[in-house]
Chains A and B, each alone.
Chain A
Amino acid sequence: MEQINLLWSFLSPLESNKSLHKSLSELVTAKLKTPQLSIRAAKKWGILNLSTSFYYNQIKEFGKLFVKGVISLKDFLTYSSSKTKVCDATYLKREGKKIYGAKVIRNYVVGGYELLQDVLFTVERYKGSNFITDFRIINHNKRHLTKPKEIIKAIKTGKIKKGTGLSLMVA
């Protein structure tokens, strides 16, 4: 058990908030143990101990804190920042109704229309490994920024430096 607890030392930035830290370590453990299981199934298997609604609320809370900028992925990285950053978006296939940021878009690879969510990831290269430092769900409507505008905004705010196209390299 000691070794397992040591594994979660990378979640220490949240240690001040006991409830969030505990639920995050449980959710991360569940994801590592059985990546394909939903929260409901993990609860049924006995991997998660508390009620499903509790974990749903906690996930919502993490989202809220991330959107507000209170927590970021960088807080959980244990190395010094590298100089190479790459920014690229990918489509995530989704199912259901009224999903945030998802839209029916033509998939040119498959040749049909799919409900897709566009997520822009910023990745840092460090000693041959990729680490995700930021992400943003891009909304394909008039009220939100488009992918190129998101990149321009990231350049303006200093998150990434100007490069060519989607692939951006610092220094």
Chain B
Amino acid sequence: MKEARKAGVKVSTRLNSNFVVVRFGAEFRKEDILSNIKPIQRVIDGKSYIIYPFKRCIWQGTAGNLFLVRGEGYDDFIPLFTTSLNTKPETAIMKYKERTAIEQTNKELKSYLGIEGNYFRKKKSNYGYIFILCLVYNFIQYLRRYLADKSFKEVFEELSFYLLCKEPPKCVSKLEKELESIFGNVGSEGSNKIKTRLERTMSISGAVIAE
């Protein structure tokens, strides 16, 4: 670890397009660093990547290798940091691609299924609630295999509409009956609640009649 600290690069700000790193005790901007590193090119799953490898870096107190990866046609680099010093850049990219997939799962669970919005406190209730949400998640993913070119959100929303349409909540039928009695005869000669109420409340004053 000490050797790595001596020889390595320390990232002093967040890793984005304008990050600053400390290397051999001095701070460098991305552009300055990149001009000193020889890039390598790799093809993974038919796509070309330009990789700037920084070996033996220190990031948040941990030694590892930093790969700045830029996909074909992109301007910015994605920083990939690995604690495994023997990891090849190709492996790091493959792992990153896997990771984005599971992060998509996390996002879908939070944004669409509302995994965070519950008030269960006990262990069993928490497990039970997450278990049900995972079942729903898997079910949507299963449907997605048959509904091609549709995102998780689209399938979920459409299924939701379908179920609400086929089996409306009971409050809908209750309200429907109420509305029927209120608006049922609107436009006809017969009386309805609105017409009766209007007739009752609109008493014409004597002055208006006299005119």
Contacts and interface: CB of A to CB of B under 8 A. Distances in A.
Interface of A: 1, 3-4, 10-11, 24, 27-29, 31-36, 38, 44-47, 56, 58-64, 66-67, 71, 73, 76-78, 84, 86-88, 90, 92-101, 117, 119, 121, 123, 125, 127, 129-132, 135, 137, 163-167, 169
A163 B102 CA distance: 16
Contacts of B122: 60, 100
Closest 9 CB pairs of A and B: A46-B170, A63-B128, A63-B124, A63-B127, A62-B128, A59-B128, A90-B106, A167-B95, A100-B123
A77 to B, nearest CB: 6
A28 B59 CA distance: 44
A131 B104 CA distance: 12
A71 B127 CA distance: 12
A59 B134 CA distance: 13
Interface string B124-143: 11111111111111110110
B47 interface: no
B101 interface: yes
Contacts, number: 183
A132 B105 contact: yes
Contact of B95 (A56, A67, A100, A165): A165
B82 A165 contact: yes
B43 interface: no
A64 B163 contact: no
B116 A135 contact: no
B132 A24 contact: yes
Interface residues of B, number: 61
Contacts of A119: 130
Interface of B: 82-84, 87, 91, 94-95, 98-99, 101-106, 109-110, 112-139, 141-142, 144-145, 156, 159-160, 163-164, 166-167, 169-172, 174
A3 B137 contact: no
Contacts of B167: 1, 4, 29, 33
Contacts of B83: 165
Contacts of A88: 99, 102-103, 106
A140 to B, nearest CB: 14
Contacts of B94: 169
A157 B29 CA distance: 46
B134 A46 contact: no
Given A4-B166, A28-B136, A88-B102, A64 B128 contact: yes
A31 B142 contact: no
B103 A60 contact: no
A131 B138 contact: yes
B163 A33 contact: yes
Contact of B125 (A63, A92, A167): A63
Given A63-B123, A100-B123, A164-B82, A123 B135 contact: no
A99 B120 CA distance: 7
A121 B118 CA distance: 18
